[in-house]
């Protein structure tokens, strides 16, 4: 199979349809239990949906084999024993899924509704409410006389779990309603976790794990984390998990005659819920007919990856409540609603190999080579494993079945390994569960991934710095995988500066095999350049002139242009000032390098590693041989400067000083200008329209100066008061 199906592949071996139906039901029940009850989904939603549709088709073909305990006849999931059961007064049914991820999916729904209502082409368009399909945990909130008395999960649709105490910790959910609310009101909605809150939670979990706290784990996705928080037995722990809520419907409501409002449309009841204090998504809107449904689907699809929360499609509902009642229900689903899915962002496939790619900056990244799988709207054959630690933590090995995820333009990644731990009636077994259920045989797996010790492209040493997650190739000026980045960095304005040498031209020179290393730039001739696409003789002459001009540079610019890791402009200036000559820098020991202002152990080790590579020294010597030169002299006398050891961050627009001018004044006084704010920042200099850097400075208690304060400090005056 091109796309392996760990569970259904085994099922497909069953020759008899009756046995296949039984195995499908068993598998789907197991998956549903993992998803709804344990909050540990074992396969992507798309895989579950595919197996579910297969079972539906078989049951439609053999109605005599229909069973009331089939997954197609219930919502899925069951109440956990540790929570009190709640019988829903109005069942929490699921919505039919439209898996056609094209515009025709919306058109099909509209056509079906019009047929059910016996509408002709001459009749008006049906009005719908369109809303995002939130990826969270369905919740029913019961209010009696305006007070929240109970919160219950969906469960199996008929009976859920009482999680009232945990739901009370969600600040968005009102505990008391206005006086005009009906005596009994059940609000249906979704408990979810925002993506930023999810990342914050997982970072906290990683810190606990690093601290050796037992029983802690990171969460796979926001839905998992939200469901786990809702089902915490300790409300105090649940309160520490950042949960949110969106309301999207009603369950039991007392009639208007008993004091409740009388609604005529679904949209109107949502607006009333908003007035009563419930959060209702601003993305919900009305749509007339198929054309507007398609437009909504496409618009939300474009926003999907930029939203603060996960969605996997949109939901269409007939707006008129009278028409909803007329359309009614079929089996477990309302006829008047449908969930229109987006292309699946997670799918199953097999790892064929694990390669290591070398990035433009020398970063080594393990990449899983996959059996082709259609996910996120494209066919995926590669997925990143990020780094060695992640690959080993996820325990990804060649031959494994894995869940691969692709969202928007994000590089596909392996989410997790799927081991065959769910019992199947068709599996050949060697063991059984305590209840006697068979377990499938565990296949022998490949070896655990380990990063190679040398670069797979140039064979230079691959090193992992202390405190870093990534390995990097040390052959920066020599490694062919890094040559484009090395040339662009070398030619930039703040380095050696070769005017006119940009991305497109470097791509042409490297891809055509004309330039292999930096010295090759200075060996270019007019003929080779003029033969390139869109390169006229005049442009070629201009570039040759720029290359000739760039040969006269300074030692700080040249050092910065070499692209040595952790060596920025300020550090390059300090190295040049301290040693005076390039050879002295190249031959300095780590101990000697540590004597330089602005050079710590990490920078010293990086410099020593770079110049210990013979091919890097060879490139430097070839550049010198090509005529690249700079003034050299004796080390500068070390005199105290007013701002030695003081670090600044600039943000916003200053009244009279340009950013570069302010930076030059600070560096001339011995200070350093950094790009980001941290606890080590001495001052933040803020001008008009200062952004997040100012916010972070205030949060960390870093002193903030305006332009006048900076100038006073440069003149040696005492630090002025904070802005």
pLDDT of residue 419: 79
Q: Average pLDDT, stretch 44-70?
A: 82
In this structure, the number of other CB atoms found within 10 A of the CB of residue 183 comes to 14
Q: Is the pLDDT of residue 176 over 70?
A: yes
Question: How many CB atoms lie under 10 A from the CB of residue 212?
Answer: 7
**What is the Cα–Cα distance from 301 to 287, expressed in whole angstroms?**
16
Tokens of 554: 């300074």
* Mean pLDDT of the 225-239 span: 79
pLDDT category at 625 given cuts 50, 70, 90 is very high
Return d(Cα 573, Cα 152) in angstroms, integer.
65
CA–CA dist 88, 722 (Å, integer): 59
Backbone angles phi, psi at 221, to 5 degrees: -155, 165
Nearest to 566 by CA among 677, 661, 476, 668: 476
Band (169; pLDDT cuts 50, 70, 90): confident
SS3 423: coil
Distances (CA, A) of 434 to 34, 437, 443, 605: 18, 7, 21, 56
CA–centroid distance for 550 within its chain:
41
pLDDT at 620 > cutoff 90: yes
Greatest mean pLDDT among 110-124, 293-307, 477-491: 110-124
Task: Show Cβ contacts of residue 71 under 8 Å, excluding neighbours closer than 6 positions.
Answer: 25, 28, 29, 32, 52, 55
Q: How far apart are CA 66 and CA 61, in angstroms?
A: 10
pLDDT of residue 638: 59
Q: Are 521 and 515 in contact (CB under 8 A)?
A: yes
Nearest alpha carbon to residue 293 among 338, 344, 324, 247: 338
SS (H, E, C) 671-716: CEEECCCCCCCCEEEECECCCHHHHHHHHHCCCEECHHHHHHHHCC
Is 362:473 a contact under the CB 8 Å cutoff?
A: yes
When pLDDT is averaged across residues 54-58 and rounded to a whole number, the result is 86
The answer, yes or no, to whether residue 427 has pLDDT greater than 60, is no
Q: To which residue do tokens 């105490």 refer?
A: 165
Burial (CB count within 10 angstroms: exposed 0-12, middle 13-18, buried 19+), residue 15:
exposed
pLDDT at 5: 47
As a whole number, mean pLDDT of residues 613-631 equals: 93
> How far apart (Å, rounded) are the C-alpha atoms in residues 352 and 380?
13
Is residue 713 scored above 60 in pLDDT?
Answer: yes
Pinpoint the alpha helices (H) of 492-554: 503-511, 518-521, 526-530, 537-550
- Tell me how far apart the alpha carbons of residues 578 and 601 are, in angstroms, rounded to a whole number: 17
DSSP three-state, residue 265: strand
Please give the residue that has the higher pLDDT: either 521 or 669. Answer: 521
Residue 539 above 60 pLDDT?
A: yes
Report, as an integer, the average pLDDT of 246-273: 82
Over residues 511-522, the pLDDT tens digits come to: 888 999 899 999
pLDDT at residue 428 in the model: 36
Report whether pLDDT(106) > 90: yes
Q: Give the residue numbers annotated as catalytic, written as ranges.
A: 133
Angle between helices 104-116 and 289-303 (to 10 degrees): 150
Residue 489 burial (10 A CB sphere; 0-12, 13-18, 19+): buried
- Report, as an integer, the average pLDDT of 528-534: 84
Whether the Cβ atoms of residue 542 and residue 455 lie closer than 8 Å to each other: no
Strand partners for 142: 150, 186
The DSSP letter of residue 669 is T
Alpha carbon distances (Å) from 468 to 332, 471, 602: 52, 8, 11
pLDDT on residue 704: 92
Give pLDDT, residue 636: 64
pLDDT digits (tens, 9 = 90+) for 627-646: 999 999 888 665 666 777 78
pLDDT in the model for residue 615: 86
In this structure, which CATH number among 3.30.750.200, 1.10.645.10, 1.10.569.10, 1.10.150.20 belongs to the domain 472-485+497-638? 1.10.150.20
432-446, 466-480, 542-556: the lowest-pLDDT one: 432-446
CATH architecture of 647-714: 3-Layer(aba) Sandwich (3.40)
Count of alpha carbons within 13 angstroms of residue 10, beta-carbon side:
20
Going by C-alpha positions, the residue among 667, 648, 645, 640 that lies closest to residue 707 is: 648
**8-79 fold:** Helix Hairpins (1.10.287)
pLDDT of residue 141: 97
Q: What is the pLDDT of residue 499?
A: 93
Model confidence pLDDT, tens digit, residues 482-514 = 888 899 999 999 999 999 999 889 989 988 889
| Residue 442 scores a pLDDT above 60 | no
Q: What is the mean pLDDT of the chain?
A: 85
331-351: per-residue pLDDT in tens?
Answer: 778 999 999 988 777 888 999
- What percentage of the chain reaches a pLDDT higher than 90? 40
Lowest mean pLDDT among 352-356, 525-529, 530-534, 544-548: 530-534
Torsion (CA) 269, 275, 281, 284 in degrees, nearest 10: 40
* Whole-Å CA distances, 110 to 52, 132, 145, 317, 334: 23, 18, 39, 10, 14
* For range 416-440, the mean pLDDT: 51
Q: In this predicted structure, what is the pLDDT of residue 722?
A: 54
Strand partners, 353: 369
- Residue 432, SS3 per DSSP: strand
Distance of CA 13 to the CA centre of its chain: 37
Report CA 414 to chain centroid distance, whole Å: 12
Residue 716 region by backbone torsions, left for phi larger than 0, else alpha for psi between -120 and 50, else beta: left
Q: Say how far apart CA 687 and CA 689 lie, in whole Å.
A: 6
- Stretch 264-278: mean pLDDT: 93
Of 321-325, 453-457, 474-478, 695-699, where does mean pLDDT reach its minimum? 474-478
Which helix (DSSP H) or strand (DSSP E) does residue 199 occupy? helix 195-210
Q: In whole angstroms, what is the distance from residue 333 CA to residue 141 CA?
A: 21
- 410 or 154: whose pLDDT is higher? 154
Average pLDDT over residues 382-410: 87
Question: What distance in Å separates the CA atoms of residue 137 and residue 155, rounded to the nearest whole number?
Answer: 10
**pLDDT at residue 431 in the model:** 42
Confidence of residue 39 (pLDDT cuts 50, 70, 90): low
| Contact predicate 605/590, CB 8 Å | yes
Domain made up of 97-341: CATH architecture: 2-Layer Sandwich (3.30)
For residues 153 and 229, is the Cβ–Cβ distance under 8 A? Answer: no
The percentage of the chain sitting over the pLDDT mark of 70, rounded to a whole number, equals 89
- pLDDT tens column, 557-571: 999 999 998 898 889
pLDDT at 7 over 70: no
Is the pLDDT at 426 greater than 80? The verdict is: no
β-partners of residue 672 are 647
The pLDDT of 674-700, averaged and rounded, is 87
Predicted local distance difference test score (pLDDT) of residue 424: 41
Q: For residues 670 and 274, which has the higher predicted lDDT (pLDDT)? A: 274
Residues 6+ apart with CB under 8 A from 257: none
User: Could you tell me the two tokens for 80?
Assistant: 């956990």
d(CA 692, CA 484): 32
pLDDT at 73: 65
Placement of tokens 């810190």 in the chain: 207
> Whole-angstrom Cα distance, residue 255 to residue 266?
16
Tell me if 473 sits within 8 A of 455, measured CB to CB: yes
Pairing of strands 647-651, 378-384: unpaired
Where are the chain's structural domains?
Answer: 8-79, 97-341, 472-485+497-638, 647-714
Measured between its terminal Cα atoms, the distance across the chain in Å is: 66
pLDDT of residue 255 exceeding 80 = no
* C-alpha dihedral sign at 610, 482, 487, 649: negative
Please say if the pLDDT value at position 718 is more than 70.
no
């Amino acid at each position: 199979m091109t796309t392996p199906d760990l569970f259904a592949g085994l099922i497909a071996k069953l020759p008899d349809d009756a046995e296949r139906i039984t195995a499908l039901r068993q598998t789907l029940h197991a998956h549903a239990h993992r998803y709804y009850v344990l909050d540990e989904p074992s396969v992507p939603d798309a895989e579950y949906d595919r197996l579910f549709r297969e079972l539906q088709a078989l049951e439609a073909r053999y109605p005599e084999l229909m069973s009331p305990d089939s997954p197609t006849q219930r919502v899925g999931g069951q109440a956990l024993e540790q929570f009190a059961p709640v019988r829903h007064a109005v069942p929490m049914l699921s919505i039919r899924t439209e898996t056609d991820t094209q515009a025709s999916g919306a058109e099909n729904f509209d056509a079906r509704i019009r047929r059910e209502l016996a509408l002709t082409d001459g009749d008006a368009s049906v009005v719908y409410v369109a809303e995002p399909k939130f990826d969270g945990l369905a919740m029913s909130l019961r209010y009696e006389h305006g007070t929240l008395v109970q919160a219950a999960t969906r469960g199996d649709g008929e009976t859920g779990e009482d999680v009232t105490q945990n739901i009370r910790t969600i600040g968005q959910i009102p505990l008391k309603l206005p006086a005009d609310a009906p005596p009994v009101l059940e609000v249906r909605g979704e408990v979810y976790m925002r993506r930023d809150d999810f990342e914050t939670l997982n970072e906290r979990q990683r810190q606990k794990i690093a601290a050796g706290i037992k029983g802690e784990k990171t969460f796979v996705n926001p839905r998992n984390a939200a469901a786990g928080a809702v089902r915490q037995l300790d409300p105090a722990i649940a309160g520490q998990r950042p949960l949110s809520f969106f309301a999207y419907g009603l369950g039991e409501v007392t009639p208007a005659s008993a004091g409740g409002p009388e609604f005529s449309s679904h949209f109107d009841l949502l607006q009333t819920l908003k007035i009563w204090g419930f959060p209702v998504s601003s993305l919900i809107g009305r749509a007339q007919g198929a054309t507007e449904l398609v437009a909504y689907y496409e618009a939300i699809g474009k926003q999907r990856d930029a939203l603060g929360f996960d969605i996997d499609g949109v939901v269409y509902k007939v707006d008129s409540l009278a028409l909803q009642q007329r359309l009614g229900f079929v089996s477990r689903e309302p006829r008047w609603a449908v969930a229109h899915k987006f292309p699946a962002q997670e799918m199953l496939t097999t790892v064929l190999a694990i390669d290591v790619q070398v990035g433009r900056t020398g970063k080594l990244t393990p990449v899983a080579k996959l059996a082709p799988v259609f996910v996120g709207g494209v066919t995926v054959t590669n997925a990143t494993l990020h780094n060695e630690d992640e690959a080993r933590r996820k325990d990804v090995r060649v031959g494994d079945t894995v869940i691969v995820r692709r969202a928007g333009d994000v590089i596909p990644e392996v989410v997790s390994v799927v081991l065959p731990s769910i019992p199947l009636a068709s599996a050949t077994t060697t063991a059984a569960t305590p209840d006697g259920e068979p377990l499938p045989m565990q296949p022998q797996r490949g070896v655990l991934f380990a990063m190679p010790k040398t670069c797979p492209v140039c064979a230079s040493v691959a090193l992992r710095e202390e405190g870093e997650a990534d390995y990097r190739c040390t052959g920066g000026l020599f490694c062919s995988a890094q040559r484009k980045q090395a040339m662009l960095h070398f030619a930039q304005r703040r380095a050696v500066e070769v005017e006119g040498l940009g991305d497109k031209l470097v791509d042409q020179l490297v891809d055509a095999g004309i330039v292999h290393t930096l010295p090759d730039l200075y060996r270019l001739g007019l003929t080779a350049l003029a033969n390139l696409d869109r390169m006229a003789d005049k442009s070629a002459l201009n570039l040759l002139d720029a290359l000739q001009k760039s040969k006269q540079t300074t030692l700080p610019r040249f050092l910065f242009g070499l692209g040595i890791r952790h060596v920025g402009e300020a550090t390059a200036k300090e190295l040049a000032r301290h040693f005076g000559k390039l050879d002295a820098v190249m031959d300095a020991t780590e101990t000697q390098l540590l004597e330089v202002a602005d050079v710590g152990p990490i920078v010293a080790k990086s410099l020593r590693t770079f110049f210990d590579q013979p091919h890097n020294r060879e490139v430097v010597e070839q550049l010198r041989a090509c005529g690249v030169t700079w003034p050299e002299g004796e080390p500068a006398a070390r005199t105290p400067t007013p701002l030695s050891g003081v670090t600044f961050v600039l943000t916003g627009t200053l009244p009279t000083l340009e950013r570069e001018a302010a930076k030059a004044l600070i560096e001339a006084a011995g200070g350093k200008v950094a790009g980001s704010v941290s606890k080590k920042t001495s001052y933040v200099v803020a001008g008009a329209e200062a952004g997040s850097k100012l916010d972070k400075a205030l949060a960390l208690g870093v002193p903030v100066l305006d332009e006048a304060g900076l100038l006073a400090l440069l003149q040696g005056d005492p630090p002025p008061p904070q802005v």
